Amino acid sequence: MTEMYTANPTAVSETPGLNSTFLDSEFRYVLFPVVYSIIFLLGIFANLYVLFVLRCLREAKAMGEIRIYMTNLTIADLLFVCALPFWIGYYSRKGHWVFGDFMCRLTGSFFFINTYSTILFLGAISVNRYWAVTRPLDVASSDHRRRGIIVCVVIWALTLSMTIPYLTSPAINTDNNFNRCFEGYQNQTVSDKRQVAVTHFLIIGLFFVVFFLVVVCNFLIARALLTQNPTQSSTIMSRKSNRNASFSSKRPRGVKRRALQLLWTVVGVFVLCFLPHHVVQGLWALAVLQIPEGWGHVGWDENTRQVLNDAHQVTLVLMGLNCILDPVVYYFATRKFRKFIMAHLKRFVKGEGCSQTVTSQLSMDSRNQSQKLQGDQEPGED
C-alpha cells in the first residue's frame, strides 16, 4: 500500500527491544482534506463525462483498442475518487479512522488499485501508440479490440492479486486512542518490518520497469515522428490511394504536433504523479520502519527522517492528481475522442446528449476505417 506506514510522533513501541519513535507531518491534516476535496469534485465530473463520451463512441461503433484501455483506466480512477470522502474524513480527524476495519481495507485497496492499474494502463497506451506509429499499415487495417480486452484482463488480474493481502489482513492499528488506517506499524516485530520493506521495494521495482518501458516507447515514437518527412508519408500512402497520399501530405505538421502532445502528456503524468513518490518511497519506508539492525537498518538522524516523511506526504498528494489528469491523456490519444468532445460542447447549451449527428458521423468513420491507412488516420491516433 502506498500510504500505509506513516506513524505518530508520540507513539513509542510496545514491543520490547525495538525502542522506535515515529514521525508525523502535521501539515497533512490540512493539505489532504483540501486537495482531496478538490480532486473529488473535479475527478467525479471529469471521469463520469469520459465514460459518457466513451459510451457514445461505443454506440457509434468507434471503440478501438485504445478506447478499451481508456474505459478501464477511467473505472480505476472512479474507484479512487469514490474512496476520497473516507480519506478526507480520516485526515480531518487528525488520522483517526471511524469507518470500521473493512472500509479501511477496501478504500486503501482502491488507492492501490488506482495507482498501479493507472501505471499499467498508461504503459499499454504507450505501447499501442508505438505500434500505431511504427506499424501504420497493420494498425489501419486491423481490429485489435480482442488484444485490448486480453491486456485489460491481465492488468486487472495482476493488480487485484497484488491487493489481496491488504483486503484479507487487518488494517487498523490502535495508537494512543487513534485508529490508524494502514498506519501506526510501530509495534510490529523486526521480521514483519522487513517484510513490509521488501514489499515496498518489489512494488517500486515494478513501477520502474513500466516507467522504463514508457520512456523507451515514447522516445522511439518521438524519433520516428521527428525523422519522418511528408515525402515518406506520401510514398507509403500512394500504395493504396493517390487521394490519401495527397491528403496526408497536407497534414504532417499538425499530425506530428498532436502525436507529440500525447507523448509529453503521458510522460508528464508519470513524472509529475508517480515518479516522485517511487523515488522517495523506498527511503521513506526504511526511515519510518526503523529496523534496529541488519538488513533494512539505516542510521539517519531525526531531521533526515522528518524531511523524508514530509516529502512522502507531498508525493501522495501528487499521486492523487492522476485521476484528473488522465482525461487530458484521452484528449490527445484519439482523434475521435477530441472530435466528439468539440462537437458535443457546441451542442451542450441545447441540452442534447449523444448527438445523433456526431455518433452517425463517427459510425460512418468506423465503417470506413478498414479502407483508411495511417496518413488518413493521423499517425499515432485511432
Residue-averaged pLDDT of the chain: 77
Question: What is the reported pLDDT for 244?
Answer: 43
Which residues are bridge partners to 181 per DSSP? 172
Q: Give the tens place of pLDDT for each residue, 247-284.
A: 444 445 656 777 777 788 889 999 999 999 999 999 99
Question: What is the reported pLDDT for 187?
Answer: 63
pTM over 0.85: no
Question: What is the reported pLDDT for 117?
Answer: 93
pLDDT higher than 90, residue 221: no
Mean pLDDT for 183-199 is 77
Mean pLDDT for 237-243 is 44
Per the model's pLDDT, the better-predicted residue between 241 and 285 turns out to be 285
Mean pLDDT for 5-32 is 58
Q: For residues 307 and 189, what is the distance between their CA atoms, to the nearest angstrom? A: 25
Per the model's pLDDT, the better-predicted residue between 229 and 16 turns out to be 229
Mean pLDDT for 152-168 is 92
Question: What is the reported pLDDT for 189?
Answer: 78
pLDDT-derived band of residue 90, with 50, 70 and 90 as boundaries?
Answer: very high
Q: Are strands 178-181 and 172-175 parallel, antiparallel or unpaired?
A: antiparallel
pLDDT-derived band of residue 133, with 50, 70 and 90 as boundaries?
Answer: confident
Mean pLDDT for 167-191 is 78
pLDDT-derived band of residue 354, with 50, 70 and 90 as boundaries?
Answer: low
Quote the cell numbers at residue 148: 485490448
Percent of all residues in the chain with a pLDDT value above 70, rounded to a whole number = 72
Q: Which pairs from 93-101 meet CB under 8 Å and 24+ separation?
A: 94/29, 94/178, 95/8, 95/24, 95/29, 95/178, 95/180, 95/183, 96/178, 96/179, 97/172, 97/179, 97/180, 97/181, 98/179, 101/170, 101/171, 101/172
Q: Is-contact 220 134, C-beta < 8 A?
A: yes
Question: What is the reported pLDDT for 349?
Answer: 58
Question: What is the reported pLDDT for 56?
Answer: 77
- Range with the lowest mean pLDDT among 67-76, 147-156, 171-180, 331-340? 331-340
Nearest to 276 by CA among 325, 321, 305, 316: 316
Q: Which of 72-76, 192-196, 197-201, 371-375 has the highest mean pLDDT?
A: 72-76
pLDDT-derived band of residue 186, with 50, 70 and 90 as boundaries?
Answer: low
Fold of 28-377: Rhopdopsin 7-helix transmembrane proteins (1.20.1070)
Question: What is the reported pLDDT for 132?
Answer: 77
Mean pLDDT for 20-42 is 88
Mean pLDDT for 340-352 is 70
Question: What is the reported pLDDT for 1?
Answer: 45
Question: What is the reported pLDDT for 55?
Answer: 80
